[in-house]
Structure 1
Amino acid sequence: MRRVLVTGGAGFVGRPAVAALIARGFEIHAVGRRAPAGAHVFHAADLLDEVSRRAAVRAAGASHLLHLAWVTEPGRYWQAPDNLDWTAASLDLVRGFHEAGGTRAVVAGTCAEYDWTVASPPPCGEEPEVGVVQEAPPRLILNHPHPEPLPARGRGRAIDGHLSESAPCRPTTLYGAAKDGLRRILSAYAAGTGLSLAWGRLFYLYGPGEASGRLVGDAVRALLAGQEFATSEGRQRRDFLHVSEAGEAFAALLDSTVEGPVNVGSGAAVPVRAILETLGRLTGRPELIAFGARPLPPSEPACIEADIRRLTEEVGFRSRLTLDEGLRATLAAYAAR
């Protein structure tokens, strides 16, 4: 049985990733402060502490590593100094893993590494409306890496982007820069040591267990409680993937020999408005969604969509859930609680 060391296994993406890895026959050694369900062995450790981190890596003796842990506190981690701590800890984690005999590592990245002011054709399958700024609403997190609107670059507004792994990486936040810098350093390290390394760039996620401050979870909780949900006009388009499938995609990536960056998304951007309208229809409370109640800051692009050809053609992972099916499953999970 292949042994994998998983960080962040009790987190939003980590829980389905652990389940998917078990289904693929991996022996799960989880490391962190909380043990994920299904882990065969749990190594309690503070990953930011050098001594306990290195001890856990040695004790695990894993051949594979899936590194998902990072600073995730909504509202602060765009520019949190903790990003520097996680960069340093991640470098040491991967080095220690490889020096202990590990051969294959997958690390979670983010679409916030990309330069969102440069479009790569085709721009989400259609032209942007002339004169219309389609941005993300303040305070709403629309995917795993983004708890608030992207800070403005200081010139113009971002434009539509269909992003392949070869698109330019020019992050505008400390969070994005930390991830991009980590990838660059680890790529050079892997090339020089023979470590097999892949980098999964997450796009927009939704599903059961979302923390407060995320779009779908906040909308579901409000609608089920009969409360008004204030949002923008919702015409910005985003690439959403159910979190269960994100976990499966990471498991498939780890189980492959694919190296380098790989986009983890659905490959089809949809208007945020369509997602909220679907939730309104499914809950029978569409009148509670207050479109246009929040202003649109001029800092986020009209469309962010992942080119997922590497994920589908090289890794062999294909999303099975339609957006409607995924939202129904998410709503059912919240209602059951």
Structure 2
Amino acid sequence: MKRVLVTGGAGFVGRHAVAALASRGFEIHAIGRTAPKGVHAFHAADLLDPAQRRTAVQAASASHLLHLAWVTTPGRYWQAPDNLDWTTASLDLVRTFREAGGTRAVVAGTCAEYDWTGIAEALSPRAGRGDAAAIRESLVESAHCCPATLYGAAKDGLRRILQAYAATAGLSLGWARLFYLYGPGETPGRLVGDAARALLTGQRLATSEGRQRRDFLHVADAGAAFAALLDSDIVGPVNLGSGEAVPVRKILETIGALTGRPDLIDFGARPLGPTEPACIEADIRRLTDEVGFSPRYSLEQGLAQTVASWRAGLSNAASVP
């Protein structure tokens, strides 16, 4: 049985990744502050503490590593100084894993590594290319990386160093670039969850015109994609997305219909930042053709499930005396 060490296993993506790894026959060891459900062993440790981290990694003695943990607080993580701490910890984590006998690692990256400014310029109507909302340009893994945020820069820098290390250390390294996520259990600050909660509770939702296109992937598909990538021998960057960017307006209109409160959505009440890219879409040919994984949830199915989950949760909360 293959033994995997998972960081961030109790998180939004992590719990789905753990379930997917279990279905693939992995013996799952988790490291962190919170024990995920469904693991064979839990190694309690503060991943930012070098001594605790190294002790836990050595105790797990895993052949595989799935590294998901990072600072992810919505609205904060883009420029948080904690990104520097996680970069340092991640470098040592992977090195300690390899020196303990590990052979295969997959680390979570981000679509924010790519040059979004270039996309925004290429798709701008002012550049004489017509309606930005009608133009689609998928990001392939070989696209230029020039992050606009500290978060993106930290991930991009980590990838470059780890790829160089892996080449010299004999480590098989996959790098999973996550696009936009949604699904049941979202923390506040994410688009789909915030919209569903607001409309279900009768609150007005102020938003932009919503013409920008984004590639949203259901969180269960994200977890399963991580497991599939780890269970393969594919190295280098692999996009984890749906492969189809849709207007944010369409997502919110769908949520409005599902909640029965489209009247509460105030499109155009908030301006869209001038540097916001018109379209962020994943080219997922590596994921489908090489890894052999295709997303299971359509956007319509996923949004319906997510809204139903919020409705049930709010109903249960209201019934508690």
Say whether residues 1:292 and 2:264 are aligned partners: no
Counterparts of 1:169-318 in structure 2 under 5 Å?
Answer: 169-318=145-294
Q: Could you tell me which residue of structure 2 aligns to residue 6 of structure 1?
A: 6
How far, CA to CA, are the matches of 1:100 and 1:200 in structure 2?
Answer: 23
> Are the equivalent residues in 2 in contact too, given 1:133–1:298 (CA < 8 A)?
no
1:127 deviates by 12
Counterparts of 1:1-337 in structure 2 under 5 Å?
Answer: 1-119=1-119, 161-337=137-313
Aligned partner of 1:5: which letter? L
Q: RMSD of the alignment, in Å?
A: 2.0
Distance 1:292-1:91 versus aligned 2 partners, 3 A rule: same
1:332 deviates by 1.4
How far, CA to CA, are the matches of 2:186 and 2:274 in structure 1?
Answer: 26
Aligned partner of 2:184: which letter? P
Aligned partner of 2:201: which letter? A
Q: Which moved more, 1:247-256 or 1:109-118?
A: 109-118
How far, CA to CA, are the matches of 2:257 and 2:22 in structure 1?
Answer: 36
Distance 1:269-1:16 versus aligned 2 partners, 3 A rule: same
Structure 1's unaligned 5+ residue stretches are: 135-158
Aligned partner of 1:33: which letter? R
How far, CA to CA, are the matches of 1:127 and 1:314 in structure 2?
Answer: 38
1:130 deviates by 5.8
Aligned partner of 2:18: which letter? V
> Are the equivalent residues in 1 in contact too, given 2:208–2:268 (CA < 8 A)?
yes
The ranges of structure 1 where at least 4 consecutive aligned residues each deviate by more than 4 angstroms after the TM superposition are 126-134
Q: Which moved more, 1:293-302 or 1:95-104?
A: 293-302
How far, CA to CA, are the matches of 2:71 and 2:49 in structure 1?
Answer: 14
1:39 deviates by 1.2
How far, CA to CA, are the matches of 2:308 and 2:25 in structure 1?
Answer: 29
TM-score of the pair, normalised by structure 2: 0.93
> Are the equivalent residues in 1 in contact too, given 2:117–2:275 (CA < 8 A)?
no
SS in 1 for 2:195: helix
Aligned partner of 2:204: which letter? E
1:299 deviates by 1.3
> Are the equivalent residues in 1 in contact too, given 2:66–2:107 (CA < 8 A)?
yes
1:109-156 per-residue CA deviation (whole Å, 9 max, x = no partner) reads 000000113349x97xx999967777xxxxxxxxxxxxxxxxxxxxxx
1:192-211 per-residue CA deviation (whole Å, 9 max, x = no partner) reads 11100000000011001111
Higher helix share: 2
How far, CA to CA, are the matches of 1:3 and 1:336 in structure 2?
Answer: 36
Percent of aligned pairs with the same amino acid = 75
How far, CA to CA, are the matches of 2:291 and 2:140 in structure 1?
Answer: 15
> Are the equivalent residues in 2 in contact too, given 1:2–1:27 (CA < 8 A)?
yes
How far, CA to CA, are the matches of 2:306 and 2:242 in structure 1?
Answer: 17
